[in-house]
């Protein structure tokens, strides 16, 4: 096993140059060179020799090596063909690491796990594809028991937001998990250095969604409609998106204890659930009539 996981910026440059590679801005490639941040990610994952880890975007294997030291198996999924080839050579001595050259969004966890059902997901996520990968894991079958990811600081703060600053992203992730920020990581902790700081976020996946709804797709349709015009009052954004008269929407909102003048960002998960149920009853009544 390589003796040192972290690399300096000079070492990263040298390794890329020797391999005929360059960091690709289009793939959001920023390699972590901060040992403290690396330790924060691995510690937050609470790994044991019994754990299987799916790592997304392993890059040069800096995080992969630390994961391999503590987990029983690491499945490292790298989209960049040249980086995947380099990683296979660099980590050839690690019997518990399997490098797969693939697009994580085009494979199922079950295809990667080889019959296993329990796993954890860890990643230093490219900024441009953060949301799709997070949704991929929280909606996957099987889901990870735990997910620890590095994301853009502002995105991390949006994910863990409380009512008053909620977003569609926060609702969709808090529906399936309990996220919390582990730490912040400055831009200089990467090579090449990004323009923004990052945050390490831990997601404890829930065995069941945070609220019970009859149809998940229909529930999120209502939430999306509510956020379709976030600056508008809820009665207006819902009326416009759902094709229901504002007065009827206002009546429904009042019925479930929500002031029609509130905006979508102020609602809690529970309030969205109550609104969804009221709308379902309203729609059913319209069909019956």
pLDDT band with cut points at 50, 70 and 90 for residue 127 = confident
Task: Give mean pLDDT, residues 93-102.
Answer: 97
The top-level CATH class assigned to 216-288 is mainly alpha
For the question of whether the overall pTM of this predicted structure is more than 0.85, the answer is yes
145 φ/ψ angles, rounded to the nearest 5 degrees: -75, -25
Distance CA 24, CA 205 (A): 32
Domain boundaries, the chain: 9-205, 216-288
Q: How many CB atoms lie within 10 A of CB 111?
A: 10
pLDDT band with cut points at 50, 70 and 90 for residue 17 = low
Long-range contacts of 242-245 (CB under 8 A, 24+ apart): 242/279, 244/282
CB crowding 91-100: b at 16 or more within 10 Å, else e: beebebbebb
pLDDT in tens, 58-82: 988 889 999 999 999 999 999 989 8
CA-closest candidate to residue 84, choices 59, 111, 112, 65: 59
pLDDT band with cut points at 50, 70 and 90 for residue 287 = very low
Distance CA 125, CA 245 (A): 42
Domain 9-205 shares a fold with domain 216-288: no
Distance CA 83, CA 218 (A): 41
Name the CATH architecture for the domain at 9-205: 3-Layer(aba) Sandwich (3.40)
């Amino acid at each position: 096993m390589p003796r040192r996981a972290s690399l300096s910026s000079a070492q990263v440059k040298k390794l890329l140059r020797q391999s005929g590679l360059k960091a690709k801005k289009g793939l959001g490639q920023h390699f972590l060179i901060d040992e403290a941040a690396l330790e924060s990610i691995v510690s937050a994952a609470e790994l044991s020799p019994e754990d299987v880890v799916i790592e997304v975007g392993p890059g040069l294997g800096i995080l992969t090596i630390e994961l391999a030291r503590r987990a029983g198996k690491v499945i490292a999924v790298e989209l960049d063909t040249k980086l995947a080839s380099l990683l296979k050579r660099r980590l050839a001595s690690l019997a518990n690491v399997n490098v797969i050259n693939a697009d994580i969004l085009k494979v199922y966890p079950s295809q990667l796990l080889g019959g296993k059902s329990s796993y954890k997901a860890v990643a230093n996520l490219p900024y441009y594809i953060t949301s799709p990968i997070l949704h991929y894991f929280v909606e996957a079958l099987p889901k990870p028991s735990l997910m620890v990811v590095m994301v853009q600081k502002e995105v991390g703060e949006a994910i863990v937001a409380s009512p008053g600053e909620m977003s569609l992203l926060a609702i969709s992730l808090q529906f399936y998990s309990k996220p919390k920020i582990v730490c912040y990581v400055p831009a200089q902790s990467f090579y090449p250095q990004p323009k923004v700081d990052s945050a390490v976020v831990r997601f404890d996946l829930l065995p069941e969604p945070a609220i019970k709804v009859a149809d998940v797709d229909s529930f999120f349709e209502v939430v999306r409609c509510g956020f379709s015009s976030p600056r508008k009052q809820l009665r207006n954004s819902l009326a416009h998106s759902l094709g229901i008269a504002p007065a009827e929407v206002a009546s429904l909102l009042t019925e479930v204890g929500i002031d029609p003048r509130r905006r979508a960002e102020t609602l809690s998960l529970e309030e969205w659930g109550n609104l969804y149920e009221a709308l379902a009853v309203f729609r059913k009544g319209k069909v019956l009539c």
